Amino acid sequence: MQAKAAVNQKTGNTLNNAFASHFAKSMFLSVTALAILSFIGTRMFTHVDLNLYGYMVGTIVFIGGFFYRFIAWGERPPTKLILKKGLKLLFRKSTPKTSVEHLATYNFIWNRGIYRWTQHVLIGWGCILSCFVTFPLVFGWMYFTMDDNGHYNIIAMGMKVMTVPADGIIATLSYNALNITAVMVIAGVCMALYRRLKNMQARAEQKFLYDFMPLYMLLLVSITGLALTFMNIFLHGAGQPAMSLIHQWSVIITLIYLPFGKLAHIPFRPMSVLARNYREHYAEQGMKECKVCGDQFVSSEQSKDVVDVLGVNDIEFKAKEGHHLAEMCLPCRRKYRIAQFSGFPTHEVKVKEANQNAKG
């Protein structure tokens, strides 16, 4: 048994040693998987749409950037801990419910107001559905052929899965899927821009490159995509070649930018399920009481992990009373910091903040 384990470990080390880094290995395996799937889906590359070649290159660059950002993020001590413990809890009974709330219905935003929830649903699902339509077409996993009788054949991974009338509802939805998602994204982006321009608190916190530019990029992609449809239907294709290039470049630039800006939280969002499982599981094991007010605020395991992670980085936050700041609830911690400047032990005052138990 030990010999078998040693062989497996040696094989794993050999695989890792074949690459310069985790990033290089992940990128190589991902691109290889895409190539194999495209080889199968396009029947040995016999059904490749060269009009989508630019999108394919942009997507591959996006994947490289995503893995670079994810691995850099995942190597941080707190993130590594959450990933390690969260993956072990992936098959909790509550995982399906948590996944739906965090990835589909966005319940975590509902407490912030129906306006912000609607805005996130429109942008989030608009982008996700666009990817579900675009990526299979770009890599040849899905394409359409037309019979002489006016019916379309939907081909997925090289196999005919459905035949539909060219003027039927399924075909119509297929033609207009990206138009529908573009309208969703435009509506969501306009709502976000209105809030950020009108809300005084939001205006004080916004930065153009980080907060506004991603929205303008989504707006450009969506508007140019709708413009292509408009030119086809109402202008009989006039101006389409130029607009096609503008749209293609807007998509490629957005894909390349996506892993490094604010939009990166879209592909990173599934990690929130691991974090939620981590909090819920260890909260069931036992809660930590605040050393000042006695309120239970996090799990004992999480408090211990915070202390350990800070120790890894040689950071100590010890109060003069002898306990760690991670053993104090957020309101008491905030009052303790004020005490360091005022000289008055505000953290010992038994008065709760007005919004101490606020949701959202």
pLDDT tens profile 40-56? 877 777 777 777 888 88
Q: What is the pLDDT of residues 287-319, one digit of tens each?
A: 888 877 778 888 888 888 888 888 777 777 777
Distance in angstroms (rounded) separating the CA atoms of residues 249 and 186? 18
User: Do 320 and 345 meet the contact criterion of CB atoms below 8 Å apart?
Assistant: no
User: Domains in the chain: how many in total?
Assistant: 2
- Report the Cα 339 to chain-centroid distance in Å: 39
CATH number of the domain where residue 133 is located: 1.20.950
Distance in angstroms (rounded) separating the CA atoms of residues 141 and 59? 14
The whole domain housing 298 covers 286-348
Kindly report the pTM of this predicted structure.
0.78
Among 272, 294, 319, residue at a domain's last position? 272
Residue 360 located in a structural domain: no
Amino acid identity of residue 55, one-letter, is Y
Distance in angstroms (rounded) separating the CA atoms of residues 175 and 152? 11
Among 216, 222, 265, 277, CA closest to 82 = 277
Same domain, 234 and 344: no
Residue 125 located in a structural domain: yes
Q: What is the pLDDT of residues 186-237, one digit of tens each?
A: 999 999 998 888 877 777 777 877 788 899 999 999 999 999 989 888 888 7
Among 272, 307, 335, residue at a domain's last position? 272
Same domain, 257 and 304: no
